[in-house]
Structure 1
């Protein structure tokens, strides 16, 4: 059994390229294979860059802008994914 579709919890369905370009801020040509990010991280990351500090306490995402600027980081929270169609699958990543 292997990855055949996006809805499966295998590496091919969860490891998706993410491109950031911000001239003068984000180092060009950098490839980051160590850090893990999620769509949930967009809100706190963009708010941090825009200097918006008033966010809900119970926000699921994390500010990952430091990875854009060439830093490595350790997630404060685990990423959890659940797929219920066409079958059931659960994946958790904490590294």
Structure 2
């Protein structure tokens, strides 16, 4: 259960990162409100997950999901470049997330 909650918290991090980009510096109301709401919800879910998961693991996985998810959204939705170095970096983050998960089992 806590791992699922942590995963959802990470997905909400992707939501707020994308909506922050769309808010154009918090000058557009709806994406700005989505950003703030997703930030709060993500933090609350992270704190719930931390009840059962170690701090270092939970925080690393949360930020990793946010980083890789935002990278994928940038590629797929915003047309950002998919250079070999960027893909390698994202792959290393995913590998680190898997090692963190396995080390906490």
Whether TM-score is above 0.5 comes out as no
* More strand, by proportion: 1
What TM-score comes out, normalization by structure 1 length?
0.30
* More helix, by proportion: 2
Q: Highest CA radius of gyration, 1 or 2?
A: 1
What TM-score comes out, normalization by structure 2 length?
0.28
